[in-house]
Amino acid sequence: MPLIMMTGLPSSGKSTRAKELQQLFEERLALTENQHRKLSVQIVSDDTLGIPHSAYATASNEKNARGQLLSAIERLVSRECILIADAPNYIKGLRYQLYCVAREVNTTQCVVHCAIPVAEARRINEARGSEGYEPALFEELVMRYEEPNPAVRWDSPLFTVIQHEPDEKLPFDKIWDALVERRAPQPTFSTAVKPAIEANYFSELDRVTQEIINAILESQRSGVPMSHVVVPGTKEKVQMPGRSLTLPELRRMRMQFTKLNRHMPSQIDRIAELFVNYLNINL
């Protein structure tokens, strides 16, 4: 059953809301008389996986942490479990990949955004002392954070909770309807009409991804170590993993990405951005 992605700034209260969601689901399921009663509710978090805050301080450690999270979610997501991903989920590329995981097992998903002013999150983080993020890492994560956008499918349906409002409650009934009852929220103007697949989408998918692979290989031929590679079609940069990428490896990544996006087409002008995000998560 559903995958719920928690997202928000560090120290924005994601874990507190995740536990609240778990309790609300368990209480509702206990009162349900239909097939939903047998569903379990689980939380996957940095804490449950033993991932420390310091894992986000370096690119290599962060990559390993993301890999642990993805592996755990792929293993646990199913039609018998409501899974809450209580992790930073602060970049859109990761949320996109989690969305793909949910789609592959034909289950619903949503994003719960714990919105909070940076100053308030900073105050809470400082008050947590040794349990909080190191100040420099906190500021770095704030700079990297990419807020969810309800106009894109991997961030929709999106439920925002204003954390600094004392009486703010989780919109649980709406979350339940969207995920368990599969009742989609009322569409906004930006999402009400979905265009048909553009006629040249599949040829552009092949062309754009191949051009990015070619750009990476060409950059490596210089023999100069680099932290990132600029590729055509997007402002996003490919973050290099500290080693040379082989053609078979890149071909495999391209094949996996194109397979996903043949089933779930995107806008042509977003192909390059999505592919770069996919590479940055998986390389």
What average pLDDT does the chain have?
85
182 and 219 inside one domain: no
Q: Does 49 reside within a domain?
A: yes
- Asked if 90 and 153 count as a contact pair (C-beta separation under 8 A), the reply is no
Separation between Cα atoms, residue 170 and residue 271, nearest integer Å: 34
pTM: 0.70
Residue 49's nearest CA partner among 64, 36, 59, 28 is: 64
Q: Does 240 reside within a domain?
A: yes
Of 194-203, 214-223, 234-243, 270-279, least confident by mean pLDDT is 194-203
Number of domains, the chain: 2
Who's near 72: CB < 8 A, 6+ residues apart? 44, 48, 49
- With tokens 């909080």, the residue in question is 132
175 and 263 inside one domain: no
Q: Does 60 reside within a domain?
A: yes
158-162 and 40-45 beta bridge pairing: unpaired
Please report the pLDDT score of residue 92 as a whole number.
83
80 and 169 inside one domain: yes
> Among 144, 162, 190, which residue terminates a domain?
190
186 and 73 inside one domain: yes
Sheet holding 158-162, edge to edge: 40-45, 81-86, 3-8, 109-115, 158-162
17 and 100 inside one domain: yes
Please report the pLDDT score of residue 187 as a whole number.
43
Angle between helices 201-220 and 247-263 (to 10 degrees): 160
Q: Is residue 266 pLDDT above 80, yes or no?
A: no
Q: Does 160 reside within a domain?
A: yes
Residue 216 belongs to what domain range?
201-282
Q: Is residue 55 pLDDT above 50, yes or no?
A: yes
247 and 131 inside one domain: no
> Among 190, 222, 252, which residue terminates a domain?
190
Distances (CA, A) of 101 to 71, 90, 106, 129: 10, 17, 9, 35
Tokens of 94: 């990761």
> Among 150, 167, 190, which residue terminates a domain?
190
Q: What is the CATH number of the domain that holds 181?
A: 3.40.50.300
Q: Does 195 reside within a domain?
A: no
Position 184 confidence tier, pLDDT thresholds 50, 70, 90: very low
Position 195 confidence tier, pLDDT thresholds 50, 70, 90: very low
228 and 160 inside one domain: no
Backbone angles phi, psi at 53, to 5 degrees: -55, -35
118 and 243 inside one domain: no
Q: Is residue 191 pLDDT above 70, yes or no?
A: no
- Asked if 197 and 262 count as a contact pair (C-beta separation under 8 A), the reply is no
